[in-house]
Amino acid sequence: MAVSKKSKPQTEETEAYARLVATIPEVELKGDANPYTSLNGNMFSFLHKSVSMALRLPPQAREPFLAKYGTKLFDGVGPVQPEYVAVPADLLLKTEELRPYFAVSYEYAKTLKPKPSKKNG
């Protein structure tokens, strides 16, 4: 079977991310080379090329998450992304423990202003 040049080989992390996304049937896993989730044009989670996960959380959930897991705001490339927390690698593999935070992230995405589509037509 031919593999797309854009596709990444499946890793334990990409499989764990896919399992997490599947916990909410309405959410579609997008991006072959750079997996992410979005709603109305607003990304709310992604798996960075370093195979670390970022999760967009509302302010009331962000600080408790950072404290509980001893992590920080996501800093992948360039400036720190203030709404995204870095998900610890071991937590990414614990789908059931991470699942409530993913649900909070999805609910938060529902409250964000839709971004206009860049598609023509």
- What does the pLDDT average to over 32-59? 93
The total domain count for the chain is 1
Q: Which domain holds residue 28?
A: 12-110
DSSP secondary structure letters along 22-43: TTSTT---B-SSS-EEEETTEE
CA distance 95 to 31: 20
What is the pLDDT confidence band of residue 116, given thresholds at 50, 70 and 90? confident
**Is 3 a domain residue?**
no
**Is 120 a domain residue?**
no
Percent of the chain with pLDDT over 70: 88
What is the pLDDT confidence band of residue 120, given thresholds at 50, 70 and 90? very low
**Is 87 a domain residue?**
yes
